[in-house]
Amino acid sequence: MPPDPLPVTGAWRDGDPVGQRRFFTFATDRRFALDSGVTLTDVTVAYETWGTLDSDGSNAVLLCHAWTGDSHAAGPAGRGHDEAGWWNAMVGPGLPIDTDRYFVVCANVLGGCQGSTGPASAHPDDGRPYGSRFPVVTIRDMVRAQARLAEHLDVDRWMAVIGGSMGGMQALEWAVMYPRRVRSLVAIATCMQATAQQIAWGGIGRQAIRLDPRFRNGDYYDAPDGEGPSAG
């Protein structure tokens, strides 16, 4: 019998407990174009919200997570969330990002592995996880997906877009792409572009994964029994 697909993964997958996640799917009737020229259909964004949107929609705050983050910015660990919120000290009633005053939204980025469409998602052609077939996405692609989510949530203009590191890059991109849809930015420990050193370290990390003989280009199904990504 063929091995089960991806038996060991840190990704959230359909059928797992959803926790506090909610899901928005778009590009169901018109394909979503990426900067690379590749297009996607049935794109899902996993997100969480806290607080209540004002009647005029003026109190909405978008949190953009860093590279290894997800939509669970605040809340306890539990079913669907292996760890407590990554910004529990900042988001909540009476805290700096006060959920008694603001409607706070945090989405897992496009290409993320915690509920949004990404490498762990099923490829529409064969139903198998995209794996290494998933296209490269840019910060701008991530922000375009967030903009579609904002429309779904009836948020015409963010009171603030807040993020650190890769999240800060998203915040800056919001100002570039949609300046009339953002009142203010809080960009923390971030930059407008990656340095040569950052790009080099990222290249080293990718090579370390690709040179693993059991990686097999990220396709579990091409590996003999007992030699998939979970073997050893």
- pLDDT tens digits, 16-31: 999 999 999 999 999 9
Comparing 106-110, 123-127, 136-140, the range with the smallest average pLDDT is 123-127
pLDDT at 227: 46
Query: What does DSSP say about strands 160-164 and 60-64: parallel, antiparallel, or unpaired?
Result: parallel
CA angle 73, 192, 11 (to 5 degrees): 35
**Would you tell me how many other CB atoms lie within 10 Å of the CB of residue 8?**
10
- What is the rounded distance in angstroms from the CA atom of residue 8 to the CA atom of residue 109? 22
DSSP 3-state of 201: helix
pLDDT at 1: 46
pLDDT at 212: 87
Q: Are the beta carbons of 51 and 111 closer than 8 angstroms?
A: no
- Note the pLDDT tens digit of each residue in 107-121: 999 999 999 999 999
- Note the pLDDT tens digit of each residue in 149-195: 999 999 999 999 999 999 999 999 999 999 999 999 999 999 988 89
> Element (H or E) spanning 23, and its range?
strand 22-26
- What is the rounded distance in angstroms from the CA atom of residue 173 to the CA atom of residue 137? 14
Give this prediction's pTM.
Answer: 0.89
Q: Express as a percent the part of the chain with pLDDT over 90.
A: 78
Is 7 a residue whose pLDDT tops 70? no
pLDDT at 214: 81
CA angle 66, 68, 73 (to 5 degrees): 65
Average pLDDT over residues 134-142: 97
Ranges of each domain in the chain: 22-193, 196-232
Residue with tokens 């877009």: 161
The more confident residue out of 25 and 8 is: 25
pLDDT at 231: 35
Average pLDDT over residues 73-84: 96
Per-residue pLDDT band for 8 (boundaries 50, 70, 90) equals low
Q: Are the beta carbons of 17 and 82 closer than 8 angstroms?
A: no
Residues with Cβ within 8 Å of 61's Cβ and at least 6 positions away in sequence, in order, are 97, 102, 103, 104, 105, 158, 159, 160, 161, 162
The CATH code for residues 22-193 is 3.40.50.1820
Residues belonging to the chain: 232
> Element (H or E) spanning 176, and its range?
helix 166-177
- What is the rounded distance in angstroms from the CA atom of residue 57 to the CA atom of residue 49? 14
For the four alpha carbons of 69, 94, 172 and 117, in that order, the dihedral sign comes to positive
- Note the pLDDT tens digit of each residue in 61-74: 999 999 999 999 99
Residues with Cβ within 8 Å of 132's Cβ and at least 6 positions away in sequence, in order, are 119, 217, 218, 219
pLDDT at 10: 82
pLDDT at 213: 84
pLDDT at 6: 46
